[in-house]
Amino acid sequence: MELNKNFTIKPEVCLNDLMEINPILGIIFFYFIGYARNHNLPVKVTSIIDNHPRKTSTHIEGRAIDISARGWSDLHISRIVYKINSTYRDYGTGPVNKIKQAIVFHDAGSGKHFHLQVNKLATLED
């Protein structure tokens, strides 16, 4: 689904799933979108909430969003990873005894992409 020339969603991804994600993840996602817009970079959401057995609990629980890295230069990849992790690391997740990350750039078998993620305790203060 094309929402505009720089913001698209993979056909099997449900846009309404954004209403079910963790609110902190939403803040990080919109930070990502703002960076992309300011640098005229594409945002193609490839996964939000996904109950596929291969997916991690972060996707099943609405604590992760995947975004394709196609069209992003190494410079912008490095910058967005640095900016999000330096700003939102406390909300990030990852393996026990490792540095937590709110964004990971990797290829988990389906192509290079950004994986935005938050931990189970990430909440907005009332």
| Number of domains the chain contains | 1
Per-residue pLDDT of the chain (126 residues; tens, 9 = 90+): 656 778 999 998 988 899 999 999 999 999 999 999 999 999 999 999 876 655 567 777 888 999 999 999 999 999 999 999 999 999 999 877 789 999 999 887 778 999 999 998 888 774
Task: Tell me the pTM.
Answer: 0.88
Instruction: Identify the pLDDT of residue 126.
Output: 46
124: in domain: no
How many CB atoms are located within 10 Å of the residue 3 CB? 11
CB 43 within 8 Å of CB 35: no
123: in domain: no
Q: Report the helix count and the strand count for the chain, using DSSP H and E.
A: 3, 6
122: in domain: no
70: in domain: yes
68: in domain: yes
Boundaries of domain holding 72: 2-117
